[in-house]
Amino acid sequence: MKAAYSSLSMALGAGAWIRCSTYPDSTPILSISLEDTSLSVSFRPDRTVSADHVAMARQLAKAAQTFAAEVERLHNEHMAQIQHLAKTAVPSPERAV
């Protein structure tokens, strides 16, 4: 398998979308798009898929699972901080009336 190198950074936001397109006669295409930037990940456009391709797809799935778990952890920590602040907030004198 030939080595390839490219680099693209995207800070995903509300307008981003992620999709996996599948075709009966071709390899799938994973797409991540944000505004005018798009990243597509695929293998050769035919049905020839090697064990190396399967291993890379599994690596991609594992990395995406780790990414999702880390985002969920950070979100949960943020929500816990908000709840803690809400419970410990000192009411203003105007609200106490």
* End-to-end Cα, the chain, rounded Å: 73
Instruction: Give 59-78 pLDDT, tens digit per residue.
Output: 999 999 999 999 999 999 99
Q: What is the mean pLDDT of residues 31-55?
A: 88
How crowded is residue 60: how many other Cβ atoms within 10 Å of its Cβ? Answer: 12
Judge contact between 11 and 32, C-beta under 8 A: no
- Could you tell me which of 9, 7, 54 has the C-alpha nearest to residue 34? 9
Instruction: Give 1-38 pLDDT, tens digit per residue.
Output: 667 777 888 888 889 999 999 998 889 999 999 988 89
Residue 93 confidence (pLDDT) above 60: yes
Judge contact between 33 and 17, C-beta under 8 A: yes
pTM beyond cutoff 0.85? no
What is the predicted pLDDT for the residue at 97?
A: 52
17 forms bridges with which residues in the sheet? 33
Judge contact between 35 and 17, C-beta under 8 A: no
